[in-house]
A and B are shown apart, each in its own frame.
Chain A
Amino acid sequence: DAGVIQSPRHEVTEMGQEVTLRCKPISGHNSLFWYRQTMMRGLELLIYFNNNVPIDDSGMPEDRFSAKMPNASFSTLKIQPSEPRDSAVYFCASSFIAGSTDTQYFGPGTRLTVL
């Protein structure tokens, strides 16, 4: 199995630009998560999808952030316009089902730098 695939691995952009991060979950997994990792705040859950439907987006910082999951094998996280404080590593994770005992499988992450 290829695991969770994320692209790009690194993104450097200028403030005000639109950024799109992409994720392909593990085939057969019904749940998808987007996390953000920073030194100051650690790992934060941004949004959770179940069967392609957003269930919990309470972690999305503000309206500049949006996420979609048009089908079971693809999701995007978009930031428009980007700001320097959005610089972080963004992880996508998937799990077969989303229960308290289930393992979440993480992708390698996208390191975003906003200048």
Chain B
Amino acid sequence: GDSVTQMEGPVTLSEEAFLTINCTYTATGYPSLFWYVQYPGEGLQLLLKATKADDKGSNKGFEATYRKETTSFHLEKGSVQVSDSAVYFCALGDDYKLSFGAGTTVTVRA
């Protein structure tokens, strides 16, 4: 079945550092790929998405490119802020189902 594997955390960075969170997927069809973010005490919210191969999703300085050849959707940000501290989930969408990765906790220190 469809599944997502993302890099384990926790990840701790200093402000203005470069962030990358690896995500790879297994799917039989042509899924959409998502990154959701969960701030402390809140629900998940969409950060960005890509619906087909080679699409790049971007939002709030974060980017991820849908790479079919490597079955990957790695999340990157060039300069993180303290406010980026959160749990990040990679997800695969197939029809109505979202399959989530385990989540990566990111802490950014001032």
Q: In the complex the two chains form, what is the Cα distance from A105 to B94 in whole Å? A: 16
Chain A, 59-94, CB within 8 A of any chain B CB: 91, 93
Instruction: Please encode chain A, from 79 to 115, with 1 for each CB lying within 8 Å of some chain B CB and 0 for all others.
Output: 0000000000001010000111111111111000000
- Interface presence of B82 (CB below 8 A): no
Q: In the complex the two chains form, what is the Cα distance from A87 to B80 in whole Å? A: 34
- Chain A residue, CB-CB nearest to B43: A106
- Interface presence of A56 (CB below 8 A): yes
Q: Is the CB of B96 within 8 A of A56?
A: yes
DSSP class of B's interface residues: helix, strand, loop or mixed? strand
Q: Is the CB of B44 within 8 A of A98?
A: no
Q: In the complex the two chains form, what is the Cα distance from A100 to B49 in whole Å? A: 11
Total chain B interface residues with beta-carbon distance under 8 A: 24
Q: In the complex the two chains form, what is the Cα distance from A106 to B49 in whole Å? A: 16
- Known pairs A42-B102, A55-B96, A108-B41. 14 more at Cβ < 8 A? A43-B44, A45-B98, A56-B96, A56-B97, A100-B94, A101-B49, A101-B93, A103-B34, A104-B46, A105-B46, A106-B43, A108-B42, A108-B43, A109-B42
Tell me, rounded to whole Å, the shortest Cβ–Cβ distance linking B98 to chain A: 6
